[in-house]
């Protein structure tokens, strides 16, 4: 069934003002309006449409990306190179820890890796020598075997050549094993050197991205332990407004929804267009509140901790809608021109929030009435009109 909205609840002050205007417009002016030629106007029809209720939720602006830099070592803080408010670049050193023992371990590990390389080179030379001995032993054995077959070499000479060949093969196998062992030792020494280098690098805490230092949580001379927060850095290239919404309303808010956001700044309120990035699960079980994260447009001039308000969509309902351009506002009084028997009639209305297709009319119009869109300045109550476009 079509819902109809009656003309009611018009403010008393508005009625008084309208009465005064009509009284002043009588007599001679009314006669002029009757004689004036029709004024061509564009019109539209007031229609019932589905719209969503809008509610406000307040919250705090936060950077989309925030990093709390912590220590991975147990070491005294030697130097803090930044203060809150400083801009930093990715890879820039922010905090230095005492790394003398770590540097010594790294040097020892590098020396061990160098020694392992030399040891591998020595075993490679030994294997090459064993290979040469084996080649000679094979040649000698073959020559003695040929002579032995012709009865030109004794059995003892043949046995000695065979034994020398077997010894050369064993020496080569041993040299090859030692070379393999040296290679494994070299890999272990290199891995230990890399671990020592990496551990020594933990003494320098660097910025993970370009941003601004928002908090310094340590002073020079403090003892840093693994997991101790040192500095907080935030990425200023993107911000979001975090608000909490009751569970009864959270179902109407969906990721991707475009919502207007009002940010309080020192120069006054700034209105930007945000987009719902995430609707988290319940963060406060007792309060049954959901955390809604609204991404703000890139480049917006805002700081973390600033208060903001978001106009979020609520439950959908049916409302009477007219084009936004049809509503004439004078102070707190809103009115429209209704086309009635080819004449414009001034009608006071109560309006609600703007919808996707126009403005909601709470009182003063009914479904199906024809209103003037963007009324000309010379249009007045009672003026004859000619419709320039079909409603």
| pLDDT (tens digit per residue) in 142-174 | 988 888 888 888 888 888 888 988 998 898 898
User: What gap in Å lies between CA 181 and CA 127, rounded to an integer?
Assistant: 12
End-to-end CA distance of the chain: give it in Å, rounded: 22
User: Hey, which CATH number is domain 56-65+235-315, 3.20.20.30, 2.40.30.170, 3.40.50.300, 3.90.550.10?
Assistant: 2.40.30.170
pLDDT at 151: 83
Report yes or no: 120 and 186 within 8 Å, Cβ to Cβ: yes
Q: So what CATH class is 67-98+209-234?
A: mainly beta
Q: What are the percentages of helix, strand and coil residues in the chain, rounded to 5?
A: 30, 40, 30
User: What gap in Å lies between CA 320 and CA 50, rounded to an integer?
Assistant: 9
Report yes or no: 195 and 132 within 8 Å, Cβ to Cβ: no
Q: Provide the token pair at 112.
A: 């061990």
Q: Long-range contacts made by residues 330-338, C-beta under 8 angstroms, separation at least 24?
A: 332/11, 332/14, 333/11, 333/13, 333/14, 333/17, 333/18, 335/18, 336/361, 336/364, 336/365, 336/371, 336/372, 337/41, 337/371, 337/372, 337/375, 337/379, 337/381, 338/365, 338/369, 338/370, 338/371, 338/372
* pLDDT greater at residue 53 or residue 188: 188
pLDDT tens for each residue of 75-130: 899 999 999 989 999 999 999 988 888 777 778 878 888 888 888 888 888 889 98
Q: How far is CA 363 from the centre of its chain?
A: 43
- Count CB atoms within 10 A of the CB of residue 166: 11
pLDDT at 266: 67
The domain ranges of the chain are: 12-51+318-387, 56-65+235-315, 67-98+209-234, 100-201
CATH architecture of structural domain 12-51+318-387: Beta Barrel (2.40)
As a whole number, the mean pLDDT across the chain is: 82
- Count CB atoms within 10 A of the CB of residue 34: 11
Of the candidate ranges 15-19, 197-201, 329-333, the one whose mean pLDDT is the lowest: 15-19
User: What gap in Å lies between CA 93 and CA 82, rounded to an integer?
Assistant: 9
pLDDT tens for each residue of 43-71: 999 898 877 777 888 899 988 888 999 99
Mapped onto helix, strand or coil, the DSSP state of residue 391 is coil
Q: At what angle do helices 155-201 and 100-149 cross, to 10 degrees?
A: 160
Q: How far is CA 139 from the centre of its chain?
A: 75
* pLDDT greater at residue 266 or residue 361: 361
pLDDT at 126: 87
User: What gap in Å lies between CA 242 and CA 277, rounded to an integer?
Assistant: 10
pLDDT at 348: 93
User: What gap in Å lies between CA 320 and CA 350, rounded to an integer?
Assistant: 11
pLDDT tens for each residue of 269-279: 788 888 998 88
pTM of the prediction? 0.53
Q: Provide the token pair at 162.
A: 């065979």
């Amino acid at each position: 069934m079509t819902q109809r909205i009656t003309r009611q609840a018009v403010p008393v002050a508005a009625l008084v003002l309208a009465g005064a205007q009509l009284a002043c417009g009588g007599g001679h002016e009314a006669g002029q309006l009757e004689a004036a030629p029709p004024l061509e106007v564009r019109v539209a029809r007031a229609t019932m449409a589905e719209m969503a209720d809008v509610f406000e939720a307040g919250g705090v602006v936060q950077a989309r990306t925030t990093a709390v830099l912590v220590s991975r070592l147990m070491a005294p803080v030697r130097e803090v190179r930044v203060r809150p408010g400083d801009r930093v670049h990715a890879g820039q050193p922010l905090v230095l820890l005492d790394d003398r023992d770590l540097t010594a371990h790294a040097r020892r590990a590098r020396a061990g890796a160098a020694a392992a390389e030399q040891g591998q080179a020595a075993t490679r030379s030994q294997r090459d020598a064993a290979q040469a001995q084996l080649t000679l032993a094979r040649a000698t054995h073959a020559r003695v075997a040929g002579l032995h077959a012709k009865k030109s070499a004794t059995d003892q000479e043949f046995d000695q050549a065979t034994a020398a060949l077997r010894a050369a093969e064993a020496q080569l196998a041993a040299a090859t094993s030692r070379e393999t062992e040296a290679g494994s030792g070299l890999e272990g020494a290199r891995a230990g050197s890399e671990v020592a280098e990496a551990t020594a690098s933990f003494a320098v805490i660097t910025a993970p991205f370009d941003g601004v230092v928002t908090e310094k949580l340590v002073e020079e001379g403090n003892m840093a332990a693994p997991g101790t927060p040192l500095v907080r850095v935030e990425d200023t290239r993107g911000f979001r407004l975090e608000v909490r919404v009751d569970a009864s309303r959270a179902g109407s808010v969906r990721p991707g929804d475009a919502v207007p956001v009002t940010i309080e700044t020192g120069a006054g309120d700034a209105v930007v267009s945000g987009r719902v990035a995430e609707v988290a699960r319940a963060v406060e079980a007792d309060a049954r509140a959901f955390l809604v994260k609204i991404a703000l447009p890139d480049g917006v001039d805002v700081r973390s901790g600033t208060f903001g308000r978001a106009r979020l969509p609520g439950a959908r309902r049916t409302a009477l809608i007219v084009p936004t351009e049809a509503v004439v506002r004078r102070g707190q009084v809103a009115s429209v021109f209704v086309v009635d028997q080819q004449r414009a009639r001034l009608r006071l209305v109560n309006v609600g929030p703007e919808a996707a297709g126009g403005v909601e009319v709470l009182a003063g119009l009914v479904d199906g009435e024809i209103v003037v869109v963007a009324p000309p300045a010379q249009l007045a109550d009672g003026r004859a009109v000619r419709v320039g476009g079909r409603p």
